[in-house]
Structure 1
Amino acid sequence: MSNSIFSKIIRGEAPGSFIYRDELVSVFLDIEGVNPGHCLVVPHEEATCLAELDPETGKHLFAVAHKIANAYRAGAIECEGVNLWISDGEAAGQEVPHVHLHVVPRHSGDSYRHSYEVEPWDERRRPQLDAIAARIQQRLSHP
């Protein structure tokens, strides 16, 4: 088993404030959370990226995150919305090499910002989007 901090928390070798556990995943609060209640849904399976994660475990990861988000919205944590995100790979901002799904309760005006700059849309770029969509469709139908 890995020595990532998440593996150590799951094994009880490092402290964690758990809110849920089952045979496939553990959920604990993020010590550097955006807002109170920011938690991580972490598979017990050793996978550094989504491509390595068993698809059924991936489905379960999101099902558990969905339950937690619903609990937050029902009053377990005061929030106006919830973000779910996975950073898959270092270039995407993944800091711990163990797949994990963030569940973040959100409030208007909180400190979290996720922004990027884009060019204004021009329909003349549609052929480029269509070409990208075709490449992805091809890969999906012939992995």
Structure 2
Amino acid sequence: MTGNDILSEMWQLLASIQNFKNWLTKPISREFNMTSRQFQTLVYISQANGLSLRELAELMDMNDGNASTLCKKLEVRGFIIRKRRKDDERYISLILTEHGSAVISRFQQRLAHQFEAVGEETIQDLTTGLHALQKIIAQTNRKEDAHYARKK
């Protein structure tokens, strides 16, 4: 397989993953009148205990200012709390409120319902494939980090 073939396959796979993510999140985003990015923010916060604003920005490939604006909107609507650390006010922790947790619970129920018909074996295959992709990405990142470290 040539580099061009690999690029084409991977790009199509990543586009499929993005489309799949949108398919999963759009109904719940609409139900709660929020953007997909806002909903994805809730998912990231729910998955990490004590996620910081900077970590969220990195996960969502945003600059800190845009992530902050996004979180302010979610806080105003009662989905999250932004909490400054007492010893370092630059550090902002993001925490789901009861309302935010209810949205995530509703999403989890919807996921369970959508995947009931798929079957356990197919879900396991999907999970295995995604873990393999995650491993490849981690290995590639380590190689790139080592390459840039040698250049310094």
Which bracket does the TM-score occupy, shorter chain normalised?
A: under 0.3
- Tell me the TM-score normalised to structure 2 length: 0.27
TM-score (norm 1): 0.28
Structure (1/2) with the larger strand percentage: 1
Q: Which has the higher contact order (CA 8 A, sep 6+)?
A: 1
